[in-house]
Amino acid sequence: MTDFREALAGLYAITPDDHLTPRLSALVEAALAGGVRLVQYRNKRAPVELRRVQATELLRLCRLHEARLIVNDDVWLAVEIGADGAHVGRDDLDPRTARAALGARRILGVSCHADLDRVEAAACAGADYVGIGSMFPSTTKPAASLASLQLLDEARRRFDIPVAAIGGITVRNAPPVIAAGADMVAVVSDLFNVMDIGRRATEFQNLFDRKRK
């Protein structure tokens, strides 16, 4: 598998909360078949054992497709199953502690919302990428404050760290977010709530391909 920094670009698939492991696996496999190379396992409602089972299964699928698996919130689960990294939020493990637990070979992502001070702190703590958002009103987190395109651009320029834009992103509103400097767009609903997940994944990836051209 290639250097993980190459995975920090393009569509970042965030899994929906789903307690049915076979269904979740089918959704993620469709996204992987469409070109997704970075998946975040996120299920805040599942009990610990189910999270372990689901994360292990998704890691297996990611390995088959030469993709990377990030575990949301749970650094220790990521280390236990041999995942490629973890993503921590404001109320999770401190980024410096998370970095030490993950080591240098795993990916650390940090949610920074619309807070440039938090971006700076994450970069200093050794984060590999930061999450900025919500870029648009989101059904996943309807109460989240919005982040501007200008803030996203400033975060990318000032701290020279890959940025994952998140929150209400669709294939239609993603182009200005990508143009503002987002290295990744993190998507739940507009990827997993469509009839053809593989096709939608490819459509998102094509947006980045056009930017590189």
Which listed residue (42, 51, 68, 156) is catalytic? 42
Query: Is 213 in the active site?
Result: no
Nearest CA to 177 out of 155, 139, 141, 150 is that of 150
Q: State how far the Cα of 109 lies from the Cα of 188, in Å rounded to an integer.
A: 17
Query: Is 44 in the active site?
Result: no
Q: Enumerate the β-bridge partners of residue 68.
A: 38
Query: Is 141 in the active site?
Result: yes
Say if residues 159 and 153 touch (Cβ distance below 8 Å).
no
Q: What is the dihedral of CA 163, 167, 171, 173, to 10 degrees?
A: -90
Which listed residue (111, 118, 134, 156) is catalytic? 111
Going through the chain in order, the beta strands assigned E by DSSP cover 10-14, 38-41, 68-72, 85-88, 107-113, 129-133, 163-166, 184-187
The residues assigned a catalytic role are: 42, 111, 141
